[in-house]
């Protein structure tokens, strides 16, 4: 986990939009290619380990340019299995980045989980 100081700085930085959602968006937007993050990790990073649900709620109304597909559940499952026929499914997007899955559509978290860090 990160030091509280880093988290504090990060929050200060994004204080303009002190909304929980905005912070979530900031983090998701910084996820590197080929990596994934869990809802719980994001919640932890923001200082509220129990807010995983809110993170998911934030994703529900996320901007289109956000790589939301890199956010997965803790068990490695995909939270939102492509309901939109027009858009590529989350699995497809991840596979395109070189991420592979088990047969049961679960991701290999141990390999791809990203340690959240904010280095400007």
Partner DNA sequence: CGAATGACCAAGC
Partner DNA sequence: GGCTTGGCCATTC
Residue ranges that bind DNA, judged by CB under 7 A: 19-21, 38-40, 48, 50-57, 59-62, 68-69, 71, 73-75, 79-80, 90, 104
List, in order, residues 6 or more apart from 103 with CB less than 8 Å away.
none
Least separation in angstroms between CB 12 and DNA: 17
Q: Quick one: 101 or 119, whose CB is closer to DNA?
A: 101
**Helical residues (DSSP H) of the chain, grouped into ranges:** 4-13, 20-29, 39-45, 52-60, 90-96, 109-112
CA distances from 10 to 35, 78, 85, 105, 113 (A): 21, 28, 36, 34, 21
How far is it, in rounded angstroms, from Cα 46 to Cα 33?
Answer: 22
Least separation in angstroms between CB 56 and DNA: 3
Q: Quick one: 4 or 50, whose CB is closer to DNA?
A: 50
Q: Quick one: 80 or 101, whose CB is closer to DNA?
A: 80
Q: Quick one: 32 or 47, whose CB is closer to DNA?
A: 47
Contact status, residue 105 vs residue 78, Cβ threshold 8 Å: yes
Least separation in angstroms between CB 103 and DNA: 10
Least separation in angstroms between CB 98 and DNA: 20
């Amino acid at each position: 986990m990160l030091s509280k100081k880093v988290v504090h700085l990060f929050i200060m930085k994004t204080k303009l939009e002190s909304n929980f959602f905005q912070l979530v968006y900031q983090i998701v937007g910084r996820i590197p290619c080929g990596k994934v993050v869990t809802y719980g990790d994001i919640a932890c990073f923001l200082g509220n380990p129990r807010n995983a649900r809110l993170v998911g709620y934030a994703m529900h109304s996320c901007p289109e340019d956000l790589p939301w597909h890199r956010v997965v559940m803790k068990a490695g499952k995909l939270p939102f299995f492509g309901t939109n026929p027009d858009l590529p499914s989350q699995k497809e997007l991840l596979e395109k980045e070189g991420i592979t899955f088990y047969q049961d559509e679960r991701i290999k978290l141990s390999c791809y989980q990203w340690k959240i860090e904010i280095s400007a």
